Structure 1
C-alpha cells in the first residue's frame, strides 16, 4: 500500500493524535538555559576556574608523556640499528670524534636517562597505589616529591657514569 492510501484509511483527527504541540521555540529554550546559568553564577568553563594544576595531575600527565617518549625512542633506536650501516662501536667513535665537551655529553646523557628514571619511579608509585597504599591526598603529594627527588638523583648518577 502506498503511504497516501494508508493515511486515507484513518480519519484526519487520528493522524496527529501523538503529536504534541511545542510549548516553546528553540530560541526560547536557549535563552532560558543561558539565563539560568548566568543567574546561578556558575562558571562556563570548569577548566579555567575549578581545576588548578596540582602535583598529582602534572605527574600523571608527565608519566604518560614519558611512556610515549620511551616507546618512540626505543622504536627509533631499533629502526636505526636495522637501517644504518655500521655497528654501535662505529657510531660511538663518531660521537667521540665530534669533540663535544663533557658538559654537553653529561647534559645529553641526563636528557636520555631522565624519562626512563621518572617513568620507573612513578611506575613503582602506581604499583603501590594498586596495592591500596598511599591513596590519601597528603600521601599523594609526599610520594610525588619522593618520586621527583629519586628521579633527579638517579638521573644525575646514571648520567655521571
Structure 2
C-alpha cells in the first residue's frame, strides 16, 4: 500500500513537472476583489442600460442576414414537415388517397387551396434556390457585396415564381 502511494506521489510530481498547466497548484481561485470588480461592472452596465454584447438590437437588418435566418428556418420547417408526414403515414389509418378525398370533400374555395399550396411550396422552393446560391458560394463565386445582394434578389424572384407555378398545379 505504501508502495502504491509512493508511486502515485511520484507520478503526480512528474506530471506536474512536465505538464504544469494540468496541475491543480497552478489554478488561481477568484479572489474577493476580482469577484467584486465583476459585480461592479455588471451593476454599472445594468445602471447605464447597456445591452449584452453583441445584441440583436444593435444590428441593422440586411437582406443577407434575413435570408440566412430564413434559410435556417425553412430547413427546420422542411425537416419537421417531412418527419411529421412520415410518422403520420406510419401511424394513421388509411392511405394518402383517402386523406386527399377528405380535403376535397371539405369544398374549400380555390383561393384558400391556392394559399395553402403556396404556403407548403414556399419553404421548399426558397430552401432549394438559396441552396443553389450557397453552392455557388462554395465554389468561391459571388462574395462581393453587390453580388451578394444581386443573388439574393434573384433567389427571391425565383422563389416567388416557382412557388406560384407549383401552387397553381
RMSD, aligned CA: 3.0
TM-score scaled by structure 2? 0.71
Structure 1 stretch displaced more, 83-92 or 125-134: 83-92
SS of the counterpart of 2:55? helix
Q: 2:79 aligns with which of 71, 74, 78?
A: 71
CA distance in 1: counterparts of 2:98 and 2:52, whole angstroms: 59
Report the counterpart of residue 159 of structure 1 in structure 2: 167
Report the counterpart of residue 70 of structure 2 in structure 1: 62
1:91-102 mapped onto 2 (5 Å cutoff) = 91-102=99-110
1:139-154 mapped onto 2 (5 Å cutoff) = 139-154=147-162
TM-score scaled by structure 1? 0.74
Report the counterpart of residue 14 of structure 1 in structure 2: none
Please list every run of 5 or more consecutive structure 1 residues that lacks an aligned counterpart in the other structure: 1-23
> Post-superposition shift, 1:114?
0.2
More helix, by proportion: 2
Number of equivalenced pairs: 139
SS of the counterpart of 1:74? helix
Bigger radius of gyration among the two: 1
Report the counterpart of residue 97 of structure 2 in structure 1: 89
CA distance in 1: counterparts of 2:166 and 2:65, whole angstroms: 27
CA distance in 1: counterparts of 2:83 and 2:56, whole angstroms: 37
Q: CA 1:28/1:149 → structure 2, altered by over 3 Å: closer, same or farther?
A: same
> Post-superposition shift, 1:111?
0.3
Report the counterpart of residue 13 of structure 1 in structure 2: none
> Post-superposition shift, 1:48?
5.3
Q: CA 1:28/1:73 → structure 2, altered by over 3 Å: closer, same or farther?
A: closer
Higher relative contact order (CA 8 A, sep 6+): 1
Q: CA 1:145/1:101 → structure 2, altered by over 3 Å: closer, same or farther?
A: same
